[in-house]
Structure 1
Amino acid sequence: MNFSAAEYTRQVQEAAAYIKEKLNGRKPEIAITLGSGLGDLAEQLTDAVQIPYGDIPHFPVSTVAGHKGQFVVGKLEGREVLCMQGRFHYYEGYDLKQVTLPVRVMKLLGIGTLIVTNAAGGINTGFRPGNLMLIEDHLNLTGENPLIGENLEAFGERFFDMTVAYDREYRTLAENLAAEMDIPLQKGVYAWLTGPNYETPAEIRYLRTIGADAVGMSTVPEVLVARHCGLRVCGISCITNLAAGMGEGLLSHEEVKETADRVKVDFIRLVTALTSRM
């Protein structure tokens, strides 16, 4: 799908204007994108407002099981937070500019920090299902990028640095908080592949060789656009399964959701503490 910069910018502005009207003067400062099985964090928000994606002009609709498909805006540890209960994926058939449209909307809403979360397959042989992994860096192996095309000058410059895509200060904060709360926290590199199929054992061996610790089907497009917009980013993966060829049995989305549900208490504790201290 082709978008002119002017048309796409208009869509972002109209979506942001609709959300601002629903928020009635409330101004979220932190956004959290919740991955598969991790949407329960949004239930912790108080004085919450729900805005279904289907009601927002120009928004796609999430089609993945375990994704509710709405914004939830409310208070978390005294901070005004916007949660995405469900995200959009390239494999759903959406253009990457549609996939990342919510991030640009966040920018227009005045949000300065984005916490991205996901369910991921563990590649590092030291990882176990149920681990949380702080994302230190990522690999984009898809050949795709949401910033290809006419640059949106109103949001950021064409060429920008990705040396520290995942904010160093936030990574240190997350490590310290996890240690304080006795929550095991791995660190590593997240690899993005398009999906929707899980990877082959050969692909996993290749990913391990080039330095990937976990693999998934989301997050990187959102981070690229967030950094283009100047947002600070913190990323956390929930290792919901061992990647193909590393364990016994076949991979399934049910396993992903079941493992995410099992570790959601620690996940919610960590992200809530992060939000309060950012």
Structure 2
Amino acid sequence: MNALSLTELQQRKIMTQSGFFAALDQSGGSTPKALLAYGIKENAWSGDEEMFALVHQMRARIVTSPCFNGDRILGAILFEGTMDRDIEGQPTADYLWDQQRVVPFLKVDQGLAGESDGVQLMKPMPGLPALLDKAGRKRIFGTKMRSVVNQANAAGIKALVRQQFEVAAQILAAGLMPIVEPEVNIHCPDKGKAEALLKAALIEELNSLPGSQLVMLKLTLPEQDGFHTELVKHPRVLKVLALSGGYSREEGNRRLHQNPGVIASFSRALIEGLSAQQSDAEFDTQLDSAIQSIYEASIT
């Protein structure tokens, strides 16, 4: 019997093991806020290179913590700069899998375009083929790309989902697993209606996927309990993740409990309470508590 390939091993882990995703992909615009929440003020660096070095130190501290491993964490989503750096002398993606048994993903979008028809599409990505090639060489399993729904506008939502799946097709063709992330803004005036329009558009695209292709979805925690169940059970969906989207960890976990089959992919809600000023013991205790609470909410 042939041994499973790395991709097959990682896909099996995501498909069969309980756990959640750590979103460690804050990029240019959100990095200062992430550092501030971590206790590092904006005057602590001069220029982007120093800022990204500081955020890499934060991420490396999280990833090397004894409690951060594949027992409860299935995958970690990285910013390109994190993928390009090392942790303890190993490329970050290799460290995640070889040392911690956490499957590495890469954020590939280049940010959001201005709002049109109540949504923000992804900016053009002319460098995507080269980035996907680099990700494959660095043993990245999959990708993530985010766009945002601000209004319950059917035409806008349909265009947003179409763009997501057009890019997903490129990612699948490159041999990587796409996480499609059409976030519904938690302050959307008619969030429930927007979620209904989004689900209908997603199902239409999922039903049109060729062959046995799979994608993953990363969605806002819904207004209606169990609302994503149809997507969780869809044969073209490997996993449905939930973003924290501005909800606190407590509120995010509460909503996760009400949505069986959906697992967390939290960023701010994961690092909530962590501080550069904490001792390693304090840091590890706080992170372990956060991981356990998110894990428990993700296995309902």
- TM-score (ref. length: structure 1): 0.29
- TM-score (ref. length: structure 2): 0.28
Relative CO higher for 1 or 2, CA cutoff 8 Å, sep ≥ 6?
A: 1
